[in-house]
Amino acid sequence: MSAEIEIRNVSKSFGSAKVLENLSLSIPGHEFVVFLGPSGCGKSTLLRMIAGLESVEDGEILINGERIDHLPPGQRGVAMVFQSYALYPHMTVRQNMTFGLENINVAKDVIDARVADAARMLEIGHLLDRKPGQLSGGQRQRVAIGRAVVKEPNAFLFDEPLSNLDAALRTRTRIELAQLHQRLRSTMIFVTHDQIEAMTLADRIVVMNNKKIEQIGAPMEIYDRPATRFVAGFVGTPQMNFLDVTAARPGALGLSVACGPKLSIDTAVAPDVAGEVASLGIRAEAVSLAAPGEGQADGVIDVLERLGDRSLAHVRLDDGQMVVANESGQTRLGVGARVALRFDGTKAHLFDGAGKAYHGREAAP
């Protein structure tokens, strides 16, 4: 019940609009892969192409070494959980789950056993004779997953399945999906625009943007060593701080960059890229507050977001640039307070004009 999926040089257009361009990706068996990207980046289209719901214009898709992009959806050995769940409204939960198995003439006792197993695993045994209209959003979600599980597919495809759930249920279902993957050890592909879902669920994240893959990597690799400025900005909350670099010269740690007339940050990035660097990126947790005059730049707190365990201070520097810094949850500072910022340059990233990232040696996880 696990598949290796190989996507080779796949392209796709809708009319004159190109949505995927020459995209290649290899997914080993048992892996939980998340396609992460903003709306319209082509992630759902790619998933639907694997499912067979969209045709493949160029390139090929293989499952376990066998080319499947010409096969109808039902014969690809995959099961999909839709964003809207797509349950058959006139059928009971049990009929929803058995429909696919009856269509391929699975023996009745096998069907009954699989439905009973899935119902037990997903705790939907008491709902089997109800119709989708009588279920809550969370229950429908479980039934949709159950319908996929009973098919014992080679791969599970999830198309933003948590986006219709409320925040609490989303967190719970996320944990349950992770447990489901641990139990079934199936290949799972999960499409989302929510980076928290991606970070918490994925073995590997495929970050997509504008028709192509920006980066493929383990969640912390994506977070710590983003390949491009887009990835750096898209992954992580709050968003990474970006400062324009006005000058760069070799420094004590590596490359020392100036971001405006008064702010200079020593990074650990090798100095040989001095000529390429256009901007610096640094996450809020690498920026801390200090008393005025005791940091690299002074400014005023514009907004203070209290998150409980920590606070996020949005500081307007004297030269007008905005930087978000991490501060203790118990901070006595308030909006309008004058503070200084300390930048941990070893955790800073540099980007060239095209968005390519350069990391310091110590930025590695």
Partner 1 sequence: MTAVQAPRKPSHGPHSPDWKNALFVAPYLFFFVTLLVFPLFWGIWLSFHKADTFSSGPFVGFGNYVRLFNDKVFLQSVGNTFYFVLLTVPTLALIGLFLALALNARTRTATVLRSLFFFSSVLSVTIVTLIWRIVFIPQFGLLATVYGWFGATAPAFVSDPNLAMIAVAMATIWWCLGLPMMLFLSALQQIPGDIYEAAALDNASRWRTLTAITLPSIKRTFALVIIIQIVLQFQLFGQAWLMTRGGPNNVTKPIVLYIYDTAFRRWDLGLGAAASEVLFVLILLAAMAQYLISRRKEDL
Given the rule CB under 8 A, which residues bind partner 1? 51-53, 72-75, 78-80, 82, 84, 86-91, 99-100, 103-104, 131, 133-134, 147
| Residue among 159 and 298 whose Cβ is closer to partner 1 | 159
| Residue among 104 and 168 whose Cβ is closer to partner 1 | 104
Please check whether residue 80 is in contact with residue 27, taking contact to mean a CB–CB distance below 8 angstroms: no
Tell me the C-alpha distance between 365 and 353, whole Å: 25
Q: Residue 360 Cβ, how far from partner 1 at the closest point, in Å?
A: 47
Tell me the C-alpha distance between 197 and 286, whole Å: 23
Tell me the C-alpha distance between 209 and 195, whole Å: 14
Q: Residue 171 Cβ, how far from partner 1 at the closest point, in Å?
A: 25
Helix (H), strand (E) at residue 236: none
| Residue among 9 and 99 whose Cβ is closer to partner 1 | 99
| Residue among 155 and 268 whose Cβ is closer to partner 1 | 155
Q: Residue 20 Cβ, how far from partner 1 at the closest point, in Å?
A: 19
- Would you give the DSSP letter of residue 363? G
Tell me the C-alpha distance between 268 and 272, whole Å: 12
Q: Residue 53 Cβ, how far from partner 1 at the closest point, in Å?
A: 5
Q: Residue 155 Cβ, how far from partner 1 at the closest point, in Å?
A: 12
Tell me the C-alpha distance between 225 and 167, whole Å: 29
Query: Bridge-partner residues for 342, per DSSP?
Result: 288
What is the maximum alpha-carbon separation in the chain? 77
Q: Residue 1 Cβ, how far from partner 1 at the closest point, in Å?
A: 16
> What is the distance between the terminal CA atoms of the chain, rounded to a whole angstrom?
33
The residues, ordered by sequence, that sit 6+ positions from 216 with a Cβ below 8 Å of its Cβ are 25, 204, 205, 206, 207
Q: Residue 108 Cβ, how far from partner 1 at the closest point, in Å?
A: 17
Q: Is 301 exposed, middle or buried (0-12, 13-18, 19+ CB in 10 A)?
A: buried
Q: Residue 93 Cβ, how far from partner 1 at the closest point, in Å?
A: 13
Tell me the C-alpha distance between 365 and 360, whole Å: 11
Q: Residue 135 Cβ, how far from partner 1 at the closest point, in Å?
A: 11
Which long-range contacts (C-beta less than 8 Å, at least 24 apart) are formed by 257-262? 257/350, 259/321, 260/317, 260/319, 260/321, 261/319, 262/297, 262/318, 262/319
| Residue among 96 and 311 whose Cβ is closer to partner 1 | 96
| Residue among 104 and 107 whose Cβ is closer to partner 1 | 104
Task: Report the candidate in 50, 28, 47 with the shortest Cα–Cα distance to residue 187.
Answer: 28
| Residue among 98 and 173 whose Cβ is closer to partner 1 | 98
Kindly give the interhelix angle for 167-184 and 137-149, rounded to the nearest 10 degrees. Answer: 20
- Would you give the DSSP letter of residue 95? H
| Residue among 155 and 240 whose Cβ is closer to partner 1 | 155
| Residue among 77 and 138 whose Cβ is closer to partner 1 | 77
